[in-house]
Structure 1
Amino acid sequence: MKHDVLDLDGQLNEAERSQQLKVREFTERRIKPNIARWFERAEFPLELVPELGELGVLGMHLQGYGCAGRSAVEYGLSALELEAGDSGIRTFVSVQGSLAMTAIHLWGSEDQKQRFLPSMARGELIGCFALTEPSAGSDPSSMSTVAKRTADGWLLNGAKRWIGLASVAKIAVVWARTEGDPEGDGVRGFLVPTDNPGFTATPIEPKLSMRASVQCDVLFENVELPEEALLPGAKGLRGPFSCLNEARYGIMWGAMGAARDAFETALSYASEREPFERPLSSFQLTQQKLVDMMLELQKGQLLALHTGRLKDTGKLRPEQISVGKLNNVREALKICHTARSILGGNGVTLDYSPLRHANNLESVRTYEGTDEVHTLILGQYLTGHSAFRG
């Protein structure tokens, strides 16, 4: 690509480049021709789910149990290409793989892994990840959903909000505080079939963002669970946070996919549009916008690639993930807004992608840790002082 000034593609090995191009072809063929319709209708395309399974991107970073076992960089490149289509589609892959499947893979029993992961990898079984609550979105430590120990298992009560896929999922990974846990009370994870009596998922509508995706309010009213519903390895907030870091990693790549598509759209438009009898791209102010977008796009991609290399060598730290999530989503939003300005009035229509991407990125900027949360994570790393409370 002409705008790959730093030749970042040249930093990829053959397997990485092959994976990227495979997912790019899928996005060009299946997502981009349909996304404006899906977005306008607020429709999540369920027919894509088995196709994404066949593509091998569901839980693709996990080893065994029917998962592809690909590298962190290969997963990141896949997230980038999918979000070049739409954040909602990349979010599905993230919720399914980085959150729900990762929770089972890391913290589940061998029976739970064998039972759920292969069908989830194939896209035959959809999962969701229920952590965020209506009154404590950025503060899981204030969780009020409770699982009480009973003679036969557990009784679950509480509520969650902004839970992706909950109304279409068959299995939910639910995080709750325990009461009467023989191993000591605290935050534990549970596998909850969504057809259990007392489980209710209601899509949040209408939305101005992530319209080709599904987010729900979820209510648990005396949901009875057997003992084997418990994820045995997950104790405390380390369980959900380990999954969140996987999702945050994918986000830093995905945001650059949305930014790249917005930039390419603006560059093409500026080259073809001829106000004042000359190409829009020949004007100094337009060139400044294009160059500024290119710089931040290349820096964001380089940051994601470096982070992926760290992850593949087992050296990635949580604060480094916060650097990528905070920077790349923030800069992707700026790129999309600048791209929209080059399109003029045409940029507010669904004929062009930048404003759709910008709307989606407002959600991406909020979930898996707001700017403020990641700023405080990094502030604590730099100073040694936690500023989350008080």
Structure 2
Amino acid sequence: MAPETDQRSPVLDLDTAFAAVAAAALSDGPTGTVGLELEAHLVDLDRPAARVPWGRVCGALASVPPLPGGSRLTSEPGGQVELSGPPLPDVAAAVAALRADRVVLAAALAADRLALAPVGTDPLRPPQRVNPAGRYAAMEQHFAAVGCAPAGSAMMTSTASLQVNLEAGPAAGWSTRVALAHQLGPVLVAVSACSPLSGGRPTGWRSTRQQVWGDLDQARCGPLLRGDDPAGEWAAYALAAPVMLVRDGDDAEPVRGRVAFSDWVSGEVPLGDRRPTASDLEYHLTTLFPPVRPRGWLEIRYLDAAPEPWWPALAAVTTVLLDDPVAADRAAAASAPTADAWDRAARLGLADPALHAAARGCLAAAVDAVPPALRPEVEALAELVERGADPGGALLNALRTGGPASALLAATDRTEAP
């Protein structure tokens, strides 16, 4: 949960703001710890074409018993459900904990004839916000004001992702590690692609979720530049990014235009009849969504949500390609030719020859390094990649054989079993 604005804290100057963001960006320490967050679309099994009303979402989540793996359970603007697992010693432990929590969650939802569809975009229902939180209403208004209302609404209410959280690692290796996390992005977008449908029909994109993010304001959602000083680069990115909303107590007022946070700090553009405080800066950082976001650790945010066995495999592959030194070197060599192919990855996926070759090289490196407990899932993903296929192919098959509602229902993990 974002911090409350503290009107008593002193206003910022540009040097103080830059230093604060840079200091908090990355934490020096060993790699190994992994946290996983998985979103899924909530589906009414009896009325799959209708979004689940907010009251029913809240009631269903309130019925969920304590989760054995320690995940935090939250809901997103379109009623998507997110499980955020705790940091655990390795990816195998993180996957096991999230799987255990998903079994408990699925059983509780099934009692109300609900199920979860962990796929990158809602394949059937149009974008619609059901969560009435003021933050989300203000986000909608800001996106509309800056000219990306459709993409903003789709991002908030119709997308779902798998997020992999990894330690920043030793300070001496930050530049290389952050650069590799970005360089792997297009390859792993193509490998994880599980969102070829929207509104009940094919979109022409393998990862419509990534396409939606590409249509948003790139000053807020675009990648960093992979420079030699990733902490300083993140600070510069944050201060240049537009302010989305200004909080006053529990209220959130949208900013109806593009105002860089630095312009608010300098006083060049007044917002909310005041200058920003440290709490405003901290909240501003929660409204920035680059594909790799530094938060002391690294949030890898570019993977589509996908059903079993793909999300555990994707979590394992992402982790070992960054945390295992040998696998990281092999992945760096394999992915270098496609480092900037974000749009091609979203549109063509593994049908692009260069991305297919890079993906095969990265999966070969991952299979050799993955923990034994997750080797079967990663080997299955490697076989899928070898064929030039992705997790979203099953949605297209379901659409062809049973229609749009069938595609959404086919995406539901009703047992959530490994």
TM range (shorter): under 0.3
TM-score scaled by length of structure 2: 0.26
More helix by share: 1
TM-score scaled by length of structure 1: 0.28
**Higher RCO (C-alpha under 8 Å, 6+ residues apart):** 2
